[in-house]
Chains A and B, each alone.
Chain A
Amino acid sequence: MEKATKLLFAIAAVLLLTGLALAFLVAPQIVIQKDGKDVSIFSQKIFYFHAPIAETSLVAFVIGAIFGALFLARKERKYDFLSFASVELGFVFGALVMWTGDIWTRSEWGTWWEWEPRLTTYLILMLLYSGYFVLRSAVSEESSKARLSAAYSVIAAVTVPFTFFAIRLIPSVHPIVFDSSGAKMEHSMLAAFLVSMFGMTVLYVAFLLLRYQTLLAGEEVDYLKNKLGG
């Protein structure tokens, strides 16, 4: 691992641990009135990592599409690698979104799944992106693989704004924390969220660099093997 990547991982770790500490030690616990009694919503603490991971996954898919478009325009191999790495990261973060979201849904709504706009559109997005990996593994010729998967990453990214705006356009039980009037939370909660969000973004960049280095090294190994074999 290169020094810059190591540094980014260290910064991300510090930020995420700070976010975690702020979420559990500083941010107040939400209390609601239920049947005349005060009930604390402890599972709301999941939000401090769930939402940043969700935002990062959507950003990763959009960046994957941007690099995909750059590859289609310039035909440079590095853009294919960066697009693939970003989509893969979006998928890993997306799996974590599903995991944390389902746990929150179970704890708050009493069910593992609800066919409401955000969950449904996110599931569609994940299924669509799983097709990206099927496509990539199905095509063996390198230039066709790069061209087709770049085009796919651009088309699949259309689902990202749809997923993001789903709960703002269609009535939904999914909480909306940010709207046109700003953040619907206290300052200490917002601070915990923003630190976690920034940490998750730095982590994404670190992962992207690490994965990109791996793909470059793999290509170099293949090149030398072919040259030695020939």
Chain B
Amino acid sequence: MEFKEAVPYVVAAYMGIWVVLFAYVFAVNNKLSGLKKELGALNKAFEKKSVD
């Protein structure tokens, strides 16, 4: 395959890799942030319940 013909394939391969890896790290990190917020709220609620 000529250089010009091969370029879109190489670009597609590398773009796919970066997009998937960034999407995965973004999704997992977002989930972790959400869970930490929820954990903070639950801990406060638990402390309040213990005091009451």
The answer to whether A21 has its CB under 8 Å from any CB of chain B is: no
- A188 an interface residue at 8 Å Cβ cutoff? no
Complex alpha-carbon distance, A20 and B18, angstroms = 12
Interface residues of chain A, those whose CB is within 8 Å of chain B, are 1, 9, 20, 39-43, 45-46, 49-50, 53, 92, 95-96, 99-100, 103-104, 106-108, 203, 207, 210-211, 213-214, 217-218, 220-221, 224-225, 227-228
Residues of B within 8 A of A213 (CB): 32
For the complex, what is the distance from the CA of A39 to the CA of B6, rounded to whole Å?
A: 12
Closest Cβ neighbor of B16 among chain A residues: A99
**Are the C-beta atoms of B28 and A214 separated by less than 8 Å?**
yes
Taking CB atoms and an 8 Å cut-off, the chain B residues in 21-52 that contact chain A are: 21, 24-25, 28-29, 31-32, 35-36, 38-39, 42-43, 45-46, 49
A219 to B26, CA, bound (A): 20
13 contacts between A and B (CB under 8 A): A43-B1, A46-B10, A49-B14, A92-B24, A96-B21, A99-B17, A103-B9, A108-B1, A217-B32, A224-B42, A225-B42, A227-B46, A228-B46
Interface size bracket, B side: 20 to 34
B32 interface neighbour in A43, A50, A214, A224, Cβ under 8 Å: A214
Q: Are A103 and B13 in contact (CB under 8 A)?
A: yes
For residue B25, which residues in chain A have a CB less than 8 angstroms away from its CB? 9, 207, 210
Shortest CB–CB separation between residue B10 and chain A, in angstroms? Answer: 5
Q: Is the CB of B42 within 8 A of A96?
A: no
Ranked nearest first, the 6 interchain pairs of A and B with the lowest CB-CB distance are A42-B6, A217-B35, A224-B42, A107-B9, A43-B6, A103-B13
Say whether B46 contacts A207, CB under 8 Å: no
Query: B residues within 8 A CB of A53?
Result: 17
Whether the pair A1, B32 counts as a contact (CB closer than 8 A) is: yes
CA distance A45 to B39 in the complex (A): 45
Asked if B32 contacts A203 (CB within 8 A), the reply is no
Q: Are the CB atoms of A207 and B24 closer together than 8 Å?
A: yes
Q: Is the CB of B39 within 8 A of A224?
A: yes
Return B21 CB to nearest CB of chain A, in Å: 7
Q: Are B13 and A99 in contact (CB under 8 A)?
A: yes
Known interface pairs A49-B13, A49-B14. Does A224 touch B46 (Cβ–Cβ under 8 Å)?
A: yes
Note all chain B residues with C-beta closer than 8 A to A217: 32, 35-36, 39
CB nearest neighbor in B for A203: B21
Report whether A46 and B13 are in contact in the complex, using a CB–CB cutoff of 8 Å.
yes
Contact of A42 (CB < 8 Å), options: B7, B31, B45: B7
